[in-house]
Amino acid sequence: MTESGDPFAGTAAAYAHSRPGYGHEAIGHVADRFDLDAHTRLLDLGCGAGQLAVPLAARAGSVVAMDPNEAMCRATRERASRAGRSNVEIVLGSDADLRGGMIDDLTPLDLTTMGRSLHWMDERATLECLREHTRSAGGVAIVDDVEWLTAGDEPWMAAVYDVVAEYVATLPERYDPDAVEYDDPWDELLTECGFQDVETVAFTVEREWPIEQIVEYVLSLSFASSDRFGDDLDSATNAIDRRLRTLGDEPFEQHARVSVLSGRVSHS
Ligand SMILES: C[S@@+](CC[C@H](N)C(=O)[O-])C[C@H]1O[C@@H](n2cnc3c(N)ncnc32)[C@H](O)[C@@H]1O
């Protein structure tokens, strides 16, 4: 955590440059499942640099992209502008702000998306609030991919982790995402919060990572942001570069797994 208390402080530029999108299939799946069209009002909560909000804006009527981090909001604005999307409104705010009254300006919602962001929020309270303020047949879609520094299964990912661990004492341990059992899995939580027709659909996305993007990806992580390296930042990034070059030529390949967990609202 940084002095400001914002785990993403100082990461927005690296985030915007390095974090890949979710792929056409996942975006298409969300759009088809919720029948997005020119009338759809969509909220993307925890929008980051717009990796989800901006491609979805091509399929929706209007998108409110909301995030508590100002630099992330600016990055989404820039991404929307580069993509020629004039239907993306940027709102500075968190899940607590949303529940604290901002939701009233957005109601009724058709769909709320959250990409790699729900775990930062009060999950149950946010989902309950969204269900209450979403029209029937609308819903929520939670889009995620595996964070590869701590949980990716390609050897080059483990090698980058080993280098970063030499510099960042508080780095979380690596783990196998398939072996984790969650106490309160999100699909069950959605059902408990009154969503119906809850399902998870997974997609494989082939990604290629140049070394420069790998380094920026590391610095975009809340637990490996540049201030965690202090004065050793240059030394660390050079060490990542050197280590990767011993493994082969860039770009490095990733068979990424993107998941879309979604549920529908019915007020009848
Ligand atoms: C890992 S990023 C994901 C960004 C983007 N949705 C994506 O798919 O790439 C997580 C985002 O959640 C935001 N965030 C953190 N705490 C939040 C909260 N309490 N409410 C809403 N967003 C939050 C962060 O500022 C950050 O931009």
What digits encode the pLDDT tens for the residues 7-40?
888 899 999 999 999 999 999 999 999 999 999 9
Both structure tokens of 55: 């491609």
Q: In what order do the strands lie in the sheet with 88-92?
A: 88-92, 62-67, 41-45, 109-115, 134-145, 252-264, 196-209
Asked if 198 contacts 261 with a C-beta cutoff of 8 angstroms, the reply is yes
Asked if 88 contacts 53 with a C-beta cutoff of 8 angstroms, the reply is yes
3-state secondary structure of 71: helix
Rounded Cα–Cα distance for residues 191 and 197 (Å): 8
Write the CA distances from 93 to 31, 46, 180, integer angstroms. 25, 9, 31
Q: How far is the CA of 246 from the centre of ligand 1 (A)?
A: 34
What beta strand segments (E) does the chain contain? 41-45, 62-67, 88-92, 109-115, 134-145, 196-209, 252-264
What is the per-residue pLDDT for 44? Answer: 98
| DSSP letter (8 states) at residue 230 | G
Residue type at position 139: G
H helices of 178-262, where?
186-192, 211-220, 226-229, 233-245
Average pLDDT taken over every residue of the chain? 96
What is the per-residue pLDDT for 2? Answer: 52
Band of pLDDT at residue 181, cut at 50, 70 and 90: confident
Asked if 207 contacts 152 with a C-beta cutoff of 8 angstroms, the reply is no
Mutate to test the pocket of ligand 1, among 44, 67, 113 (most ligand atoms within 8 A of CB): 67
The answer regarding whether domain 12-264 maps to CATH 3.40.50.150 reads: yes
User: pTM of the predicted model, to two decimals?
Assistant: 0.95
Rounded Cα–Cα distance for residues 250 and 116 (Å): 26
Which residues have C-beta within 8 Å of that of residue 168, sequence separation ≥ 6?
A: 223, 224, 228, 229
pLDDT in tens, 31-66: 999 999 999 999 999 999 999 999 999 999 999 999
Q: Which atom of ligand 1 is nearest to the CA of 46?
A: 22
Nearest CA to ligand 1 atom 15: 120
Cβ(14) – ligand 1 distance below 6 Å: no
Provide, rounded to the nearest whole percent, the portion of the chain with pLDDT above 70.
Answer: 99
Q: How far is the CA of 235 from the centre of ligand 1 (A)?
A: 29
What is the per-residue pLDDT for 28? Answer: 98
pLDDT in tens, 94-133: 999 999 999 999 999 999 999 999 999 999 999 999 999 9
Cβ(120) – ligand 1 distance below 6 Å: yes
What is the per-residue pLDDT for 183? Answer: 72
Asked if 87 contacts 62 with a C-beta cutoff of 8 angstroms, the reply is yes
Cβ(144) – ligand 1 distance below 6 Å: no
Residue type at position 121: M
Write the CA distances from 71 to 11, 30, 202, integer angstroms. 8, 27, 30
Q: Which atom of ligand 1 is nearest to the CA of 95?
A: 20
Domain ranges of the chain: 12-264
Relative to beta strand 252-264, strand 196-209 is antiparallel
